[in-house]
Amino acid sequence: MSETDLSVPFRRRAGSALGDKHLQEALTIATTKFIGLRRDAFDEFPEGERLRDLAREIKEATLQHLHRYVEQLIDSVERLGGHVHYATTPEEARRVVLDIAARTGARMAVKSKSMASEEIHLNEALEAAGVIPIETDLGEYIIQLAHERPSHIIAPAIHKTKGQVADLFAKELKRQVAADPEELTRIARVELRQKFLEADLGITGANFAVADTGTVVLVTNEGNGRMVTSLPRVHVAVMGVEKVVPSMTDLMVFLQILAKSATGQKLSVYTTLVRGPRRPGELEGPDEFHLVLLDNGRIRQIAGPLREALYCLRCGACLNVCPVYRQIGGHAYGYTYPGPIGILLTAMLEGPGSVKDLAHASSLCGACADACPVRIDIPKMLVELRREIHEARIAPWTERLAYGLMEKVLASPSLYRWSKPLARLLQRPFARDGRIRSVPLAFTEWTRTRDLPALAPQTFHEQWPTLK
């Protein structure tokens, strides 16, 4: 069974992840490391909290006038000699990239890490059109070799141990490879260097795009982003439309908190600022630059219940601290974006029906909101999503029945009073030592992995009149 196979129920996908020793080892090591690095970075940065508030305010103010900033961005990019394409759906976005590839005669595309390109399943489309996509971020390169999908927003191969990566390289190169990260990186670098020189097309995402200057910003640690944006003849950047920021001053706020939240670095190793194609007299840069602005359900959510999810910087901090993600990893979620923010993004992109199980894959502990650099209230939106799923009658009938009854009882004092003796009677065959450990029929699942406290012989309400 594949953990990303959506025909398999979420519970089984999660169960399989829990039973995978390698996955558990890799997740524990990596997420614990990220949590510590992030904590230390903010401990040493007293302005951090204020900048988080400021970043949130900028995101909100930008969303309020997004149409204006997008128009400004388009003007700015075009003034620099670039081309902007607006894609409402993944199909449209793929079509734009494939048309550019066909017109320019591209046979090979080098890519830097881009969740937007994962979202539109660009690699599969390129392959089908006869263009070979080569992932050049080390983590993406690893999972491309393994024919897998990313399991983390910033660390796509987080689910693999170094031993597994060494085995993968050994199989590919048909020789022994040491499970040493430096050696593995050196091998990947040698393999990729030639590809950078051969590729006709460079495809990237974008962490931000600055409206008033037309600057597309990439934040990377490996330098591959610079090679992808400067060596091929054509550069295409695919970006969610909400990534626009008004000015360079605003950009500086985000850059100061992004790397700290993601990897605990003061700043990522490379911050690449792309301003259109190569100009006369410049030694490097592409002949053509294209920016693809991807909507795919985002614009609709500006006025929707998931609006705050549009603040997301894709730093991955909420995944690292999430007690569910830390146990099951990213693949069990089944979609492009994993973790707590991934549930919201999936609901945004695929509709609430797609997350009827995932919406419950959260303890609502609030760790994600605490870690988020722009303080997105993920738990609140997950509760809202659960309500929407309930109201849309997408949830299983047992769940709807239970919640529906509970809603009626809790909303009516007289019903609440009468329901207590009835509930005590009904629980009698199942309550032992103050706990209910299993209930029959369609409700069995509720007690399969948890027990419930039995109703007390007297509620606080009933005791109250006799208390002094």
Quickly tell me which residue has 């610079």 as its tokens. Answer: 226
In whole angstroms, the minimum distance from the beta carbon of 317 to ligand SF4 comes to: 4
Q: How far is CA 393 from the centre of its chain?
A: 26
Q: Are 48 and 254 in contact (CB under 8 A)?
A: no
In whole angstroms, the minimum distance from the beta carbon of 308 to ligand SF4 comes to: 9
Judged by beta carbon, residue 16 or residue 320, the one nearer ligand SF4 is: 320
Beta strands in 151-265 (DSSP E): 201-204, 208-210, 215-220, 234-240, 244-245
Beta bridge partners of 215: 210
Spatial CA neighbour of 421 closest among 459, 466, 380: 459
Q: Which two tokens stand for residue 444?
A: 């069995």
Binding flags for ligand SF4, 318-347, as an x/- string (CB under 6 A): x----------------------x------
Question: Judged by CB under 6 A, does residue 317 bind ligand SF4?
Answer: yes
Q: Which two tokens stand for residue 344?
A: 């919201």
Position 260: which residue type? K
Position 78: which residue type? E
Contact segment (CB under 6 A) with ligand SF4 among 86-94, 306-314, 424-432, 454-462 equals 306-314
Judged by beta carbon, residue 195 or residue 314, the one nearer ligand SF4 is: 314
212, with CB counted inside 10 A (0-12, 13-18, 19+), is: middle
What residues numbered 355-384 form the site for ligand SF4, per CB under 6 A? 371-374, 376
What residues numbered 243-272 form the site for ligand SF4, per CB under 6 A? 261
Element at 290 (helix H, strand E): strand 288-294
Question: Judged by CB under 6 A, does residue 55 bind ligand SF4?
Answer: no
Judged by beta carbon, residue 371 or residue 385, the one nearer ligand SF4 is: 371
In whole angstroms, the minimum distance from the beta carbon of 415 to ligand SF4 comes to: 40
Q: Are 235 and 228 in contact (CB under 8 A)?
A: yes
Q: Which of 202, 246, 297, 316 is the binder for ligand SF4 (CB under 6 A)?
A: 316
Binding flags for ligand SF4, 127-166, as an x/- string (CB under 6 A): --------------------------x-------------
Question: Judged by CB under 6 A, does residue 315 bind ligand SF4?
Answer: yes
> Can you give the binding site for ligand SF4, defined by CB under 6 A?
153, 261, 312-318, 341, 371-374, 376
